Chains A and B, each alone.
Chain A
Amino acid sequence: MKKTLICAVLVLAMAASAFGASFKIGGTGPLTGGAAIYGNAAKNGAELAVEEINAMDGTVKFEIRYEDDTHDAEKAVNAYNALKDWGMQISLGSVTSKPAEATAAENFADRIFALTPSASSAAVTEGKDNVFQMCFVDPNQGTASAQYIASKGLAKKVAVIWKNDDVYSKGVYDTFMENAPKQGLEVVSDTAFADGNDTDFSVQLTDAQTKGAELVFLPMYYQPASLILAQAQAMGYAPKWFGIDGMDGILTMEGFDKSLAEGVMLLTPFNADATDAKTKSFVAKYQEKFGEVPNQFAADGYDCVYAYKEALELAKATPDMSAEEICAKMIEQFTTMTFNGVTGENVKWAANGEVSKDPKGMVIKNGAYVGLD
Chain B
Amino acid sequence: MTMRRLINLKRVEARRIYLTYFIVIAAYVICQTMSSTKFLSSSMRGMLVPICAYMVMAISLNLVVGISGELSLGHAGFMSVGAFSGVATAILLQKVLPFAPARLAIAMIVAAIFAAIAGFLIGIPVLRLKGDYLAIVTLAFGEIIKSLLNNFYFGVDSGGLHFSMLTDTTRLLKGGRLIIRGPMGISGIQKIATFPAGFILVMIALMVVFNLVNSRSGRAFMAIRDDRIAAESIGLDITKYKMMAFVTSAALAGAAGALFAMNYSTIVANKFDFNTSILILVFVVLGGQGNMLGGIIAAAVLTILPEKLRQFSEYRMLLYAVVLIVMMLATNNAEIKYFLSRLNPFRRKEEAE
Contacts and interface: CB of A to CB of B under 8 A. Distances in A.
Contacts of A79: 310
A169 B150 CA distance: 13
A119 to B, nearest CB: 11
A60 to B, nearest CB: 26
A274 interface: no
B43 interface: yes
Nearest to B273: A195
B69 interface: no
B20 interface: no
Contacts of A303: none
Given A73-B268, A81-B42, A164-B182, A68 B313 contact: yes
Interface string B181-213: 011110110010000000000000000000000
B316 A68 contact: yes
B39 interface: yes
A78 B43 contact: yes
Given A78-B46, A78-B47, A123-B188, A194 B265 contact: no
Contacts of B273: 195
B350 interface: no
With most chain A CB atoms within 10 A of its CB, the pick from B269, B270, B316 is: B270
Contact of A84 (B39, B42, B187, B268): B42
Q: Decide if the interface of chain B is mainly helix, strand, loop or mixed.
A: helix
B351 interface: no
Contacts of B310: 67-68, 79, 82
A324 interface: no
B271 A72 contact: yes
Given A31-B314, A73-B266, A85 B271 contact: no
Interface in B158-188: 182-185, 187-188
B292 to A, nearest CB: 24
Contacts of B270: 165, 195
Interface size class, chain B: 35 or more
A118 B317 CA distance: 25
Contact of B41 (A72, A85, A102, A105): A85
A137 B314 CA distance: 30
B35 interface: no
Interface in A62-114: 67-68, 72-75, 77-82, 84-85, 98, 101-102, 104-106, 109
A310 interface: no
B214 interface: no
Contact of B266 (A81, A123, A163, A170): A123
Contacts of A31: 313-314
A129 interface: no
Contacts of B150: 164-165, 194
A163 B147 CA distance: 12
A82 B43 contact: yes
Given A78-B46, A105-B191, A196 B314 contact: no
Interface string B295-328: 0000000000011001001101100000000000
A167 B314 contact: no
A40 B159 CA distance: 47
Contacts of A85: 41-43
Contact of B147 (A109, A121, A123, A194): A194
A6 B39 contact: yes
A105 B271 contact: no
A171 B184 contact: yes
Given A105-B191, A165-B269, A73 B264 contact: yes
Contact of A164 (B42, B143, B183, B191): B183
A126 B191 CA distance: 16
A32 interface: yes
Given A81-B43, A101-B187, A32 B317 contact: yes
Contacts of B42: 81-82, 84-85
Interface in B14-63: 39, 41-43, 45-47, 50
A214 interface: no
Nearest to A78: B307
B188 to A, nearest CB: 7
A127 interface: yes
B183 A170 contact: yes
B74 to A, nearest CB: 14
A361 B39 CA distance: 52
B217 interface: no
B151 interface: yes
Contacts of B314: 31-32
A6 B38 CA distance: 12
With most chain A CB atoms within 10 A of its CB, the pick from B143, B191, B265, B317 is: B265
Interface string B246-286: 00000000000000000011111111010000000000000
Contacts of A121: 184
With most chain B CB atoms within 10 A of its CB, the pick from A68, A75, A165, A194 is: A165
A37 to B, nearest CB: 14
Contacts of A72: 271
A166 interface: yes
6 contacts: A82-B43, A163-B183, A164-B182, A167-B268, A170-B182, A195-B270
Of all A-B residue pairs in the complex, the 4 with the closest CB atoms, nearest first, are A105-B265, A81-B46, A123-B187, A165-B183
Given A98-B268, A170-B184, 16 more contacts: A67-B310, A74-B264, A78-B307, A81-B45, A81-B47, A85-B43, A101-B187, A105-B191, A105-B265, A126-B187, A126-B188, A127-B188, A165-B182, A167-B185, A194-B183, A195-B273
Interface of A: 6, 31-32, 67-68, 72-75, 77-82, 84-85, 98, 101-102, 104-106, 109, 121, 123, 126-127, 163-167, 169-171, 194-196
